[in-house]
Every structure is written in structure tokens, then in C-alpha cells.
Amino acid sequence: MRWLTPDGVVAALAVGGAVTWGVSWRGLVLLLVFFLSGSLLTQLAERCAPRRTARQVLANGGVAAVAALFSAWPIAAGALAAAAADTWATEIGAFSPFAPRLITSGRQVPRGTSGGITVLGSLGGAAGAVMIALLAEAFRPQGAAPGSAALIAGAGVAGMVADSLLGATVQGKHECPECGARFERGNTVCHQPVRRVRGFRWLDNDAVNLAATLCGAVVVALGVRIV
């Protein structure tokens, strides 16, 4: 597997199995489109992208899998829309001709900085959310709660915004004490083991992704009640 580590394959099979068990092959279609589109974009944007680990797979697909086990079709779709929006925003944003700006302060930040957003990336993320929303409408199982495509797309965008807000504020940031290079992961060793300079150590990119997909699920759950 070029896209997944061995434990990532196990996690992907578990997520795929849970989704298929809960909402049939229809859910698997959404999951596969999310996974394949995200992986292809990652390969395009980063020539030697690291393979996804079990942690990353669960951060992106875990909430959708749990919602699917409860047969909550639109909620699972909302979680996937958020995951797709995040992935598409990151990878399409990599092609932005302009440097990203922090979602909170608007200050220019280096590419790859958590919480940094670009116009191109945001449009790309919205397109990812719309794609999942339209598929959710097209493949909706009979008898599933409707949850309109607009609601699911909106949930995906809300998840993407939540991801950037958390990334800009509470996500752990680490720095090499010697060269000052910034890292997302606290267990990185550059010249020396990195030191935390901001945020919570345990709140890494995967935890933020998980929170973003949860946000997508909650927006749909609330929206279905209100509408």
C-alpha cells in the first residue's frame, strides 16, 4: 500500500466495515470517494507524502463510522464532508500563489502553519464538502433521515473552519531549540528533541481533525432537528 501504513490499513478496513455494516454499500461509496480524492490530492500536492497511519485514518473516519453504526446517514455524511473539506483545503491550498493568513489575526504565516488559510484552499475545501453532500443526496438509503445537501455541505465548511480555529489557537506547536524550526508533533527530534512553545501537547493535528469531523456531525444533528 502506497497510501497507508500497515496499521493504517487495519484502521481503514475497520472504518469501511463499520460504515458498510451501518449504512450499506452506499456509505462505502462516500467513504471511498473521500479517501481516494484525498489521497490523490495529497500525492499531487506533496511529492513524497508520508503514508497515513491508523491514528490519521481514525481521526478522519472515526466519527463517520460511529454515526454509521447508529444508521445516522446524514450525520455520518456531515462528518465525512468535514473530513473532505479539511483535506481538500490543505492540499488545494498548497497551490495558492499567496502565503496563507492566520484565520484568527489575518497575519501572514509560512505555508503549512496550522490555522493558516488561503482563498484557494477555502474554495477547494468548500468544493470537497459540496461533493460529499451531493453524493450523500444521490446515494441516500430509503428511509434515512433526509438532511439536505445544503445542510451537509454547510456542516463540512463549519468543520473546516473549526479545524483552522483550533489549529490557530490551542493546537500544540513545537520548536527545535537549536534551529527554531517549527513542528506539529511533540515527539519530533530535529537537532534536538523539540520543545513545546504553544497549545496543548496532546492536541495534535489528528486530535484537531477528529474535533473538526465531530463538529460536522453535530451541525447536521442540530440542523436536522431545527429544519
Interface residue list for Zn ion (CB under 5 A):
176, 178-179, 181, 190-191
CA 98 to chain CA mean position, Å = 22
Considering beta carbons, is residue 7 or 178 the nearer one to Zn ion? 178
CB of residue 177 vs Zn ion: minimum separation in angstroms? Answer: 8
Shortest Å distance, C-beta 185 to Zn ion: 14
Tell me whether residue 52 or residue 182 sits nearer to Zn ion (CB atom). Answer: 182
Residues 6+ apart with CB under 8 A from 148: 137, 227
Nearest approach, Cβ of residue 56 and Zn ion (Å): 24
Three-state SS at 102:
strand
Number of H helices, E strands in the chain: 6, 5
Minimum CB separation from Zn ion for residue 103, in Å? 27
Q: Which is nearer to Zn ion, 181 or 227 (CB)?
A: 181
What does residue 92 show for φ and ψ, rounded to 5 degrees? -75, -35
> First-to-last CA distance in the chain?
43
Which C-beta is closer to Zn ion: that of 104 or that of 192?
Answer: 192
Residue type, 186: G
